[in-house]
Amino acid sequence: MTTMTAKTICTNKRAGRLIAIALLMSLMVLGCDNRNDTTTAAADSAGSTSETKGSDPDPEPDDIPRFANNSPFAVEYESPIPKEGKRLWARSVLWEKAPELVVEKWIGDEPETAGKYMLIEIWATWCSQCRKATPLLNAFHKKYGDNLVVIGISDEPQAKVRPYADENIDYYTAVDTQGRMKKELGVSGIPHVIIVEPGGSVVWEGFPLLAEYELTGDTIENIIKVAAKL
């Protein structure tokens, strides 16, 4: 009886161990399966995302609407980049008191400037643009001479300036080898012109042939009209 009980107990214990081992194995298998399922689901999810991205590539430039809302191409518009303003090759003295007109020698007659506008050009005989501007200044002298005195000042010697002036220039010409007015105006490029009103202030300045900012007869007339209304 005792022997049978002992054998039964041993058998029960062995059976219990076997059952416990079987349950543990089952849990392990189930755990692996769960991990596999999770990994598979994650992989499937990643694959789905990949497929979604693959099916919606970045649009080509031709696919972007040219005239979308707020597109700058939809209507006429001005570029946000400001246009370059009037360029000067000198210090700006617009609306300031003009430097004193000082010369060493007049070539020809000295002008009477009292009560008149003065157009003063800083120039040189070697300057091609100065020579190009000469006919324009001749025309101003001829047409507006009653109200406007046109004066050309060169820092070259008289012997250099006189032959060109005698041959080509109708307006008043002077030399100042010290270039005093040129220095006062900070001129770095010629020809440079200032127009001085009878009161002594500068009302126009610049390169007279500069594109879009040319000195024209209309400009001269508008300046003279201002004095006529005063």
Place of tokens 């000295």: 110
Whether 64 is in a domain gets the answer no
Q: How much is the pTM?
A: 0.66
Whether 115 is in a domain gets the answer yes
Looking at the fold, whether 210 and 109 belong to one and the same domain comes out as yes
Looking at the fold, whether 124 and 201 belong to one and the same domain comes out as yes
Radius of gyration, alpha carbons of the chain: 47
Cα–Cα distances in angstroms (integers) from residue 78 to residues 5, 70, 73, 212, in the given order: 107, 14, 11, 18
Whether 67 is in a domain gets the answer no
Q: 119: which strand partners?
A: 150, 195
Cβ 150 vs Cβ 121: under 8 Å: yes
The CATH number that applies at residue 130 is: 3.40.30.10
Averaged over 161-172, what is the pLDDT?
A: 98
Whether 52 is in a domain gets the answer no
Give the CA angle between residues 107, 138, 110 to the nearest 5°.
30
pLDDT at 186 over 60: yes
Beta-strand pair 172-175/148-154: parallel
**How many domains is the chain built from?**
2
Give the pLDDT confidence score for residue 62 in this predicted structure. 52
Looking at the fold, whether 211 and 131 belong to one and the same domain comes out as yes
Q: How many CB atoms lie within 10 A of CB 196?
A: 24
Average pLDDT, the chain: 79
Looking at the fold, whether 42 and 134 belong to one and the same domain comes out as no
Domain of residue 123: give its range: 105-229
Whether 89 is in a domain gets the answer no
Containing 1, the helix (H) or strand (E) segment is none
Q: Is 156 exposed, middle or buried (0-12, 13-18, 19+ CB in 10 A)?
A: middle
Name the pLDDT band for 63 (thresholds 50, 70, 90): low
Name the pLDDT band for 226 (thresholds 50, 70, 90): confident
Whether 87 is in a domain gets the answer no
Whether 215 is in a domain gets the answer yes
Q: Enumerate residues 6+ apart whose C-beta is below 8 A from 193.
A: 119, 120, 121, 122, 204, 205, 206, 207, 208, 215
Beta-strand pair 192-196/202-206: antiparallel
